[in-house]
A = this chain, B = another copy of it.
Amino acid sequence: MSTDVVIGIDLGGTRIRAARLSADLKILQRIETLTLDGEGLDAVINRIVQQAQAVWPTYARVIGIGVSAPGPVDPIAGVLTTPPNLKGWHNVPLAKLLQDRLGAPAYLGNDANLAALAEHAMGAAKGYKHAVYITVSTGIGGGVIIDGHMFVGAHGLAAELGHVIMGIDGDRTVDWEYMASGTALARQAQAALEKGEDSLLMQMCDSIDAVNAKMVGAAAQAGDKLALRLVTRVGQVLGMGLVSILHTFDPEIVVMGGGVAKGTWPLIIDPMWDAIKKHCMDSAYWETLKIVQPILGEDVSLVGAGALALGKGS
């Protein structure tokens, strides 16, 4: 018996993963290797090809290959423009290179966009026509589903929601990511500790410089006053950013993932809702709105890449 499958590839900052998925996006086989520092482009592409071949089916037909990469990418041309986590890569026509080497149509997508696609296809946003996915980790990324389709804009650069401006000072601007990401949380904690504020955080690491968002989340969960204040504020600012997103996209559901959201969820969800209810111009934006955590866990990029390979991206 022959069936159709897709190959999903997740190009991360620290590892490359590949999976074979069924046409209903179940992962049938997967493989993973760490990325090596200083490895050249050709070597990395060879390794991607080898991993795809390792999960390639013996009998089934591969109808597409999807690749998830850290943004920005040009999903229309299938080009990796300037991936911040993949040093030295610029304007690599990855989709075409893989298509030529592997003999199946290949597609490229930004990781946050593909997470939105995956959660819409199989996860928390399944069945909704208008959904927004936010990841709050080192930075803030976004993906948007409009009328059941992944939205990428004219050049594939839409939904960079972490880079929406949230503050102006003269001719300088600060964006949502600067104010409410894991990097922001760590920076804010370090600044308070530098000023001599007392906190459990000083017992959790050797130096102020070593304080990170995960520690701040843990300290807040343990009731530490400083950490709790900072995490509550991040929840409030995440809510204020969501106000802009609701006024802009009017979605039915917001899925919020990423390490920072996961590690602080019970502490951020109330301040987030409070900010939304206070600052939205009309209660119709939030009366039936759902704000939920993602379902798919660390497979989200592979499932998103698989969904892209199935043509669900357009």
Contacts and interface: CB of A to CB of B under 8 A. Distances in A.
Given A161-B248, A248-B159, A250-B156, A171 B81 contact: no
Identical copies in the complex: 2
Interface string A272-301: 000100110110110010000000000000
Interface stretch (A42-50, A191-199, A214-222, A234-242): A234-242
Contacts of A244: 163-165, 244
Contact of A168 (B72, B240, B282): B240
Interface stretch (A13-21, A23-31, A147-155, A182-190): A147-155
A171 to B, nearest CB: 7
Interface residues of A, number: 48
A250 B160 CA distance: 9
A64 B163 CA distance: 41
A47 to B, nearest CB: 27
B250 A164 contact: no
Contacts of A285: 155, 157
Contacts of A129: 154
Contact of A173 (B158, B163, B243): B243
A90 interface: no
B160 A248 contact: yes
Contacts of A246: 157
Nearest to A131: B154
